[in-house]
Amino acid sequence: MSVEKLQFQAETKRLLDLVVNSIYTNKEIFLRELISNASDALDKLRIESLTNKNLEGDEEPEIFIVPDAATKTITISDNGIGMTRDEVISNIGTIAKSGTKDFLDKIREASGSAAQELIGQFGVGFYSAFIVAEKVELITRKAGTAQAVKWTSSGAGEYELEDSEKDSCGTIIILHLKPEFCGDDEYNFTDVYEIERLVKKYSDFVRYPIKMNFEVKGKEEDEPTIEIRTVNSMKPLWTRNKSEITREEYDEFFKQQLHEWEAPLEIFHVKAEGTVEYTALLCIPKHAAYNLYYTDYEAGLQLYSRHVFIMDKCKDFLPEYLRFAKGLVDSPDLPLNISREILQQSYEVKVIGKALEKNIQRQLGKLLKDDRDKYEEFWREFGKSIKLGVYNSMFDTKLKDSLKDLLLFQTSHEGKLSTLAEYVERMPDFQKKIYVAPGKDAAAIEHLPQMEILRERGLEVIYLTDPVDEFTIQVLKSYAEKEFQSITREEFELDDAESQKVKAEIEEIAKTREDLLKDVKEAIGEPVKEVRLTSRLKSGAVCLVTGEGGPSLSMEKTFEAMNNPLFKATQILELNPNHAVFKKLEALHEQGKDSQAFKDLCTTLYSLALLIEGVMPQNPADLANKVTDLLTR
C-alpha cells in the first residue's frame, strides 16, 4: 500500500502544543512515558496469550533502547502486543484516546478485577516524544498478524501511514531529536550513559528488562566490542515480603534511593489492600537535615505508580509535622493528572495519607515503649516536629490526643527526659497541677529563685527550653485532667498546707505595705504593671512574673526574634518581704519616696529581675553604674 496522509482527529495541533509546552514541564520524562507504554504492551501480550495460544510470545519479553549520536536519534523497541493499522489510527491518531484504558476496561468487564498493572491511562504519554523530537517514526506489528505498519509525523497536525516489514510482533519508536537535545546545550539524549541514568531514575523498577548496547574497549590491538546490558533492576524492594528482607537490605536501599550517607534510624514498610491499594516504604533518618525547620527544606515522599517513578517531592501524603520522614509510596489507584506529575486532591490520597500518619504515630509509640534509648535518640533530632504537630492541632482534638503521649521534656527529676505520663505518676497526692518553667536552658531554670521552694518541697518541674515548648503546653492546657501551671506566672501557688499558711502571712504583711509597693511601682515606671509581695521566694530577693492572659517573657523574646514586637508580656515584680534587701527598701522609703537612693534601689531590683529571666535591661551601662555605686556605699 502506498503512503497515506491522514489528519489527526480532535483539535490535534492545539493539543500537541499543550502536551509539548505545558503538560510536561520536565523534558526528561519522555523516556519514562515511552518505556511505560512498552511495558504496557508486554503486559497485554502476556495476558492475552493466556487465552489465545496462537499469539507469538516465545521470545523473552524485553525493552531495547538505542541512542545514536551519528543519526541524532533514539530508538525504543519492545516485543509486546503491537498494533494493527486500525489500532494505530485509533490509538495514535486520536489525542487522549487510550488503548490501554480500553484494554483495562475489557479486562475488568471480563474478570471483575482491577489488579492488572497497566500504566497508560490517559492516551497522551506517547506524544511526550514530541518534546524532544522533530519527527517520530513508529513501526509496529500486532501479535498473531503478518502485516506491519509504519506511522510517521512531525507533530504538525497530520501523519503518514504505510505498510512496512517487521520480523516479529511489537513496536519500534524512532525519535529524530531536535538539535538542542543532542548535546549542544543542557541535554544530550544521544549519550548512552545519560539514557542509562534516566532509566535508573524513572524506570528502574519496570518489571521487564530494559537493555542497551555499551561499547567495551578491549586490548589496544583489538576493536571495541558491543556488550548488551540490562540497565534496570526490575524488582522493587518494597514489593517483596517484609519477612524476606534483611535490615541490611533496607539500609542499603535507603542509602541508594535517598542518597543518605548513613543507615536510617527507623524503617516503616506498609502494604495495604482493599478500597485503596498501596505500598509505602518510609524511614526516619539518623539525623535531622540542617535546614529541616527552614522554608527552603523540601519535604515530601517519592511517588511511584505501578513501580514507575512519577515525582520526587510529593507533599500530599504526610502532614507538616512529619516532614522529617523520607521514602516512597507506590499505588496503582492514585488519580494522577495527564502529565502523571501532579496529584489531584482526592479520597485515595487522603486515605493513604491518614493511614501513613497513624502508622508512624503507632510505630513511634511502640519505639518509646520498647526501646527508650532509641526513642530519645529520635527525640533529640526530631522532637521539635512532634511539638509543632501538637501546636498545629489547636483545633484538632484527635491529633492532639494522638501526639501528647509521644512528648518528652527534661525535668528537675534527675535531669532526665520524661513523658507527661511519667511525670504525673511521680506527683505527690497533694499536688494538683503540673508545674512547668520556661527558660534558655536547664541551668537557667534551675537558678530561678522560684525553684528553691519547689526543691525544698520535693516537687518536680518540667523545663520548657525550646521556644515552641510553651506554645505546645498552652495548646494542651492539661494532661490526665491536671492543668499545666507555669511557676513564672502570677497565679502560681503551691497546694500544700504549709505553703498556704505562708501565703496568708505574706498577704497580711502586704496590707500594711500598700504605700511602699505603690511607690516602688511609680519609681520603676511603665514596664511593670504591678509590684507585690510574694510567698514563692525563699532566699531570693526579687523575681519577675507575667500575667496569665498574655505571653510570657520567653514568648515575648520569641516574638521579637520573629520581628513581631507587638506581643508584650504583662510584667509583675514580686518582692520577698523576708529578705534583707526588702528591709533596706523599707528604710529608704521612710526617708522619702523621692530620694535618689530609693529610686535607684527600685530600678536596680527590677533590672536584676530581668537578668534572672534572661532579659537584658534597656540600659545595661546605667545598671552597672548603679550597682557600682551601691557597692561603694
Q: Per-residue pLDDT for 430 more than 90?
A: no
- Nearest alpha-carbon partner for 318 in 382, 407, 404: 382
Residue ending a domain, among 169, 202, 230, is 230
Same domain, 475 and 507: no
- Cα–Cα dist 140/85, whole Å: 9
Q: How many residues does the structure list for the chain?
A: 633
Assess contact for 327 and 258: CB atoms under 8 A: yes
Residue ending a domain, among 207, 230, 253, is 230
Is position 259 within any domain?
Answer: yes
Grid cell at residue 174 = 524512532
Same domain, 110 and 153: yes
- Residues near 286 by Cβ (< 8 Å), separated by ≥ 6? 260, 262, 263, 264, 265, 381
Residue 443: give its domain's CATH number. 3.40.50.11260
Same domain, 51 and 196: yes
Residue environment code for 593-624, b if the CB has 16+ CB neighbours within 10 A, otherwise e: beeeebbbbbbbbbbbbbebbbbebeeeeebe
Q: Per-residue pLDDT for 153 more than 60?
A: yes
- Cα–Cα dist 266/285, whole Å: 7
Same domain, 558 and 477: no
pLDDT for the residue 79: 93
Same domain, 577 and 447: no
Is position 408 within any domain?
Answer: yes
Q: How confident is the model at residue 19 (pLDDT cuts 50, 70, 90)?
A: low
Same domain, 369 and 426: no
- Nearest alpha-carbon partner for 139 in 163, 172, 161, 93: 172
Q: What is the pLDDT of residues 122-147, one digit of tens each?
A: 346 788 898 899 999 999 999 989 99
Residue ending a domain, among 173, 198, 230, is 230
- Cα–Cα dist 338/24, whole Å: 9
Q: Per-residue pLDDT for 340 more than 80?
A: no
pLDDT for the residue 12: 57
Same domain, 56 and 155: yes
Residue 266: give its domain's CATH number. 3.30.230.80
Residue 146 buriedness (CB in 10 A; 0-12 / 13-18 / 19+)? exposed
Is position 238 within any domain?
Answer: no
Same domain, 180 and 157: yes
Q: Per-residue pLDDT for 94 more than 90?
A: no
Same domain, 369 and 481: no
Lowest mean pLDDT among 124-128, 176-180, 523-527: 124-128
- Cα–Cα dist 192/187, whole Å: 12
Is position 470 within any domain?
Answer: yes
Same domain, 330 and 212: no
- Residues near 223 by Cβ (< 8 Å), separated by ≥ 6? none
Residue 574: give its domain's CATH number. 1.20.120.790
- Domain coverage including residue 561: 498-632
**Residue position matching grid coordinates 525519535:** 175
Same domain, 260 and 335: yes
Chain mean pLDDT for the chain: 85
Query: What angle in degrees, to the nearest 10, is found between the helix axes of 596-612 and 620-632?
Result: 120
Is position 36 within any domain?
Answer: yes
Q: What is the pLDDT of residues 485-510, one digit of tens each?
A: 999 988 888 877 777 888 888 889 88
Same domain, 211 and 292: no
Is position 27 within any domain?
Answer: yes
For residue 232, what is the enclosing H or E element? none
Is position 311 within any domain?
Answer: yes
Is position 412 within any domain?
Answer: yes
Q: How many domains does the chain fold into?
A: 4
Q: What is the pLDDT of residues 72-91, one digit of tens each?
A: 999 999 999 999 999 998 88
Residue 168: give its domain's CATH number. 3.30.565.10
- Residue 116 CB coordination number (10 Å): 18
